[in-house]
């Protein structure tokens, strides 16, 4: 197969979720959300998203269990956001949704 198959061609649905959105009266377009887990980062080849995050971490976990919990939380959050999820507003008593606070 060619390079596009190796990198995850955007037409290759695989086990991706399909998300429908209306593009006009009575028309539904289907866009493909690349799977979060897999051998390649297919989202790198996808159309630009509404939001983007560039992150760097200084990890300060007390022990291995704390680090494991932290990395699982980050993975779950990244999976949620890359599949089209949006942070819920927490009101004026919490941090802004885009503050980076998990």
Q: Report how far residue 13's alpha carbon sits from residue 32's, in angstroms, rounded to the nearest whole number.
A: 7
Residue 79: pLDDT band by 50, 70, 90 thresholds? Answer: confident
Stretch 73-84: mean pLDDT, rounded?
Answer: 84
Quick one: pLDDT at residue 63? 94
How far CA 100 is from CA of 15, 54, 56, 62, in Å, comes to 29, 11, 11, 21
Residue 57: pLDDT band by 50, 70, 90 thresholds? Answer: confident
pLDDT over 90 (residue 65): yes
Q: Report how far residue 98's alpha carbon sits from residue 68's, in angstroms, rounded to the nearest whole number.
A: 24
């Amino acid at each position: 197969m060619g390079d596009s198959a190796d990198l995850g061609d955007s037409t290759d649905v695989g086990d991706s979720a399909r998300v429908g959105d209306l593009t006009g009266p009575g028309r539904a377009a289907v866009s493909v959300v690349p799977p979060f887990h897999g051998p390649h980062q297919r989202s790198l080849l996808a159309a630009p998203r509404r939001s983007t995050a560039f992150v760097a971490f200084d990890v300060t976990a007390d022990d291995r269990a704390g680090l494991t919990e932290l990395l699982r939380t980050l993975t779950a959050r990244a999976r949620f956001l890359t599949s089209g999820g949006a942070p819920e507003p927490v009101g004026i008593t919490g941090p802004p949704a885009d503050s980076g606070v998990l």
